[in-house]
Structure 1
Amino acid sequence: MTAVEQPGYPGELEADVVLRDGSTAHLRPITAEDAELLVAFYARVSEQSKYYRFFAPYPELSSRDVARFTQVDYRGRLALIVTVGDEMIGVGRYERTAPTVAEVAFLIEDAHQGRGLGQLLLEHLAQAAREQGIGKFIAEVLPDNRKMITVFTEAGYKVAREFEDGVIVVEFDIAPTDTSFGVMQSREQRSEAKSIERLMTPASVAVIGASRREGTIGNALLRDLRDGGFTGELYAINAGADEIEGVQAFPTIRDVDSSVDLAVVAVPAESVIDVVLDCAAKGVRGLVVVSSGFAEVGEEGRRRQRRLVGLARSYGMRVIGPNCLGLINTDPAISLNATLSPLMPDRGRVAFFCQSGALGVAILADVVARGIGLSSFVSAGNRADVSGNDLMQYWYSDEATEVVLLYLESLGNPRKFSRVARRLAGRKPVVALRSGRATQGVPLGHTVRRSQLPPATSEALFRQSGLIGVDTTGEMFDVAQLLAHQPLPRGRNVAIVSNSDALTLLAMDAAAMHGLEIIGDPMTLGGNASADDFAAVLGNVFADDRVHSVVVIFAPPLHTTGEEVARVLATAAAGSDKPVVSSFLASRSVPEMLRVPGEHGGAARGSIPSYSSPQYAVGALAKATGYAEWRLRADSDIPDLPNIDTSGAEAFVADYLKRYPQGADLDPDDRQHLLSFYDINVLPSYPVLSADEAVACAADLGWEVILKATAEQWRMRPDLADIWRHIHDEDDMREAWREMTETFGVASDPGRAQFVVQKMVPPGVPVVIDAVEDVSYGPVVSFGLSGVATDLLGDRSYRMPPLTLADAAEMVREVRAAPMLFGYRGTDPVDIASIEVLLHRVGRLALDLEEVVRIELRSVLVGPDGATVLDTAIRIAPNEKPRQDTPARRLT
Structure 2
Amino acid sequence: MTAQSELPPGYPQEWEADVVLADGMVAHVRPIVPDDTEAIHEFHANQSEESIYLRFFAPIKRLSDRDVHRFTHVDYADRVALVMLINNRLAGIGRYDRIDPGGPVAEVAFNVSDHHQGRGIGSVLLEHLADIGRESGVRRFVADVLPQNRRMIGVFKDAGYGVSHAFDDGVIAVSFDIEPTDASRAVRMSREHRSEARSMRQVLHPSSVAVIGASRRTGTVGRAFFDDIVQGGFTGTAYAVNSRAEPGTLISGHPSHASVADLEGGVDLAVVAVPAQDVLATVDECAAAGVKALVVASEGFAESGPDGEELQRQLLARARGHGMRVLGPNSFGLINNDPAVRLNASIADVGHLPSHGGLGLFAQSGALGVAVLASAQRRGLGISSFASAGNRVDISGNDLMQYWLDDEATTAVGLYLESMGNPRKFSRIARKLASIKPVIVVKSGGGGSGAGIRVRSTHERPEAFGQMLRQSGVIRADNLHQLFDVAQLVQTQPLPAGRRVAVVTNSHALGGLAAGAARSRDLEVVHGPVAVSSEAVTEEFRRVVDAALEDERVDALIACFIPPVADIDPDVVQAVADAVATHEKPCVATFLGMRGVTPGTGVPAYPTPEDAVRALAAATNYADWLRTDRGERVRPEGINRRTVHDIVESALARAPGGTDLSGEETTELLAAYGIAMWPSISVGSDEEAVEAYKQLRGTVVLKATSPLLQHQPGQGWIRTGLRHPKAVGAAYRDLDAMLAPIGAQGIALQRMAPPGSVAVDITTSEDPLFGPVVGFGVAGLPVDLLGDVSHGFPPLTDVDVVRLVSSIRAAPMLDGYRGAMPVDHGALHDLIARVSVLADDHPELASLRLNPVMAHQDGIEVLGAHARVAPAPTRTDAERRAMLA
Partner of 1:232: 236
Q: 1:815 to 1:453 in 2, by over 3 A?
A: farther
1:164 to 162, 165, 168: 168
Question: 1:18 & 1:511 partners in 2: Cα distance?
Answer: 46
Report if aligned partners of 1:426, 1:634 keep a CA contact under 8 Å in 2.
no
Displacement, 1:70? 2.0
Q: Unaligned stretches of 5+ in structure 2?
A: none
Give the one of 526, 532, 539 matched to 2:546: 539
List per-residue Cα deviations over 1:468-516 (Å, max 9, x = no partner): 1111111111001111111111211111122211111111111111111
Q: Output one character per residue of 1:767-812: Cα deviation in whole Å (capped at 9) or x when no partner.
A: 1000001112111100111123532322111111121111111111
CA–CA distance in 2 between the matches of 1:110 and 1:441? 43
Deviates more, 1:819-828 or 1:767-776: 819-828
Contact 1:535–1:568 (8 Å) recurs in 2:
yes
Query: What per-residue deviation string (whole Å, max 9, x for no partner) do you get for residues 34-61 of structure 1?
Result: 1111122222222222222122322222
Structure 1 residue 173 and structure 2 residue 177: aligned?
A: yes
Query: Which residue of 1 is the match for residue 636 of structure 2?
Result: 641
Q: What residue is the counterpart of 1:215 in the other structure?
A: 219
**Equivalent residue for 2:47, pick from 27, 45, 62:** 45
Instruction: String of CA shifts for 1:829-886, please: whole Å, max 9, x gaps.
Output: 322232222111111111111111111012112222222212111112222x221211
SS of equivalent residue, structure 1 residue 648: helix
Counterpart of 1:507? 514
Q: Which residue of 1 aligns with 2:753?
A: 761
Q: How far apart are 1:130 and its partner, in Å?
A: 1.9
Residue in structure 2 matched with residue 626 of structure 1 by the alignment: 621
Structure-2 change in CA distance of 1:452 and 1:347 (3 Å): closer
Inter-partner Cα distance in structure 2 for 1:253 and 1:561: 55
Match of 2:451 in 1: 444
Partner SS, residue 42 of structure 1: helix
Aligned residue identity for 2:752: M
3-state SS of 2:597 partner: coil
Confirm or deny: 8 A CA contact 1:452 1:774 kept in the other structure.
no
Q: Secondary structure at the match of 2:494?
A: coil
- Matches of 1:726 and 1:578, distance apart in 2: 60
Pair 1:413-2:408 in alignment: no
User: Counterpart of 1:432?
Assistant: 441
Q: Which amino acid aligns with 1:719?
A: G
Q: 2:818 aligns with which of 820, 825, 845?
A: 825
Match of 2:876 among 877, 881, 884: 884
How has the CA–CA distance of structure 1 residues 656 and 444 changed in structure 2, closer, same or farther, with 3 Å as cutoff? closer
- Give the 3-state SS of the residue equivalent to 1:793 in structure 2: coil
Q: 1:297·1:445 contact (CA, 8 Å) conserved in 2? A: no
- 1:601 paired residue number: none
Moved more, 830-839 or 292-301: 830-839
CA distance in 2, matches of 1:56, 1:738: 82
Query: How many pairs were matched up?
Result: 874
Per-residue deviation, residues 142-167 of structure 1 (Å, max 9, x unmatched): 22222222111111111112222222
Instruction: Give, as a single letter, the amino acid of the residue that structure 1 aligns with 2:810.
Output: A
Please name the residue that 1:352 is paired with.
361
1:453 CA displacement: 6.4
Equivalent in 473, 476, 483 of residue 483 of structure 2: 476
Matches within 5 A, 1:366-765: 366-436=375-445, 443-446=450-453, 448-449=455-456, 454-557=461-564, 562-592=569-599, 594=601, 607-633=602-628, 635-702=630-697, 704-715=699-710, 717-746=712-741, 752-762=744-754, 763-765=756-758
Alignment of 1:311-326 (within 5 A): 311-326=318-333
Q: Deviation at 1:289?
A: 0.3
Q: Secondary structure at the match of 2:583?
A: coil
- For 2:4 and 2:313, how far apart are their aligned partners in 1? 20
Deviation at 1:72, TM superposition (A): 2.1
> Aligned-pair distance for 1:648?
2.3
Distance in 2 separating the partners of 1:656 and 1:125: 26
The aligned residue for residue 330 of structure 1 is 337
Picking from 783, 787, 803, the partner of 1:790 is 783
Matched, 1:853 2:846: yes
Q: Which amino acid aligns with 1:181?
A: R
Partner of 2:451, secondary structure, is coil
Instruction: Measure how far apart 1:269 and its partner are.
Output: 0.9
Residue 441 of structure 2 contacts residue 474 of structure 2 at CA under 8 Å; is this kept in 1?
yes
Judge conservation of contact 1:3–1:32 (CA < 8 Å) in 2: no
Query: Which letter maps to 2:824?
Result: D
- Output the CA distance in 2 between the equivalents of 1:83 and 1:878: 29
Which amino acid in structure 1 is aligned with residue 876 of structure 2?
Answer: Q
Are the aligned partners of 2:527 and 2:554 in contact in 1 as well (CA < 8 Å)? no
Moved more, 501-510 or 692-701: 692-701
- The residue type paired with residue 849 of structure 2 is E
Q: Deviations over 1:85-140 (max 9, x none)?
A: 23211212222224222222222222211111111111111112222322212222
Structure 1 residues 14-413: aligned runs within 5 Å? 14-98=16-100, 99-239=103-243, 240-241=245-246, 242-342=249-349, 343-413=352-422
Q: Tell me which of 786, 798, 811 is aligned to 2:804.
A: 811
Residues 169 and 700 from structure 1, CA distance in 2 versus in 1: closer, same or farther, beyond 3 angstroms? Answer: closer
Cα contact 1:95–1:104 (8 A) shared by 2: yes
2:296 and 2:106 mapped to 1: Cα distance?
A: 44
With normalisation by structure 2, the TM-score equals 0.95
Contact 2:774 2:794 in 1 (8 A): yes
- CA 1:553–1:56 in structure 2 vs 1: closer, same or farther (change >3 Å)? same
Assess if the C-alpha contact under 8 Å between 2:512 and 2:529 holds in 1.
Answer: no
Q: 1:559 to 1:130 in 2, by over 3 A?
A: closer
1:83 Cα deviation after fit: 1.2
The 2-side partners of 1:170 and 1:637 are apart by 31
For the residues of structure 2 that align with 1:78 and 1:715, how far apart are their CA atoms?
47
Tell me the CA shift for residue 754 of structure 1.
Answer: 1.6
Partner SS for 2:785: helix
Q: 1:563·1:593 contact (CA, 8 Å) conserved in 2?
A: no
Shift of residue 249, structure 1, vs aligned partner: 0.7
- How far residue 405 of structure 1 moved from its aligned partner, in angstroms, is 0.7
Structure 1 residues 184 and 557: alpha-carbon distance in aligned structure 2, compared to 1, 3 A threshold: same
Contact 1:76 1:95 in 2 (8 A): yes
Question: What does residue 599 of structure 1 align with?
Answer: none
Task: Kindly provide the CA deviation profile for residues 337-371 of structure 1, in whole angstroms up to 9, marking residues without a partner as x.
Answer: 11122142111101111111111112211111111
Query: Does residue 867 in structure 1 map to residue 864 in structure 2?
Result: no
Asked whether the 8 Å contact 2:390–2:449 carries over to 1, the reply is no
Q: 1:414–1:776: 8 Å Cα contact kept in structure 2?
A: yes
| Sequence identity (%) | 46
Q: Is the 8 A contact 2:782 2:810 kept in 1?
A: no
Distance 1:229-1:7 versus aligned 2 partners, 3 A rule: same
Q: Measure, in 1, the Cα distance between the counterparts of 2:211 and 2:287.
A: 15
Higher mean displacement: 83-92 or 779-788: 83-92
- Segments of structure 1 that go 5 or more residues without pairing to the other structure are 595-606
Residues 500-555 of structure 1 deviation map (CA, whole Å, 9 limit, x = unaligned): 11111111111111111111432222323333333333333333332221111122
Give the match's secondary structure for 1:267. Answer: coil
Secondary structure at the counterpart of residue 329 of structure 2: coil
Secondary structure at the aligned position of 1:859 is classed as strand
Distance 1:549 1:849 in 2: 47
Aligned twin of 1:604: none
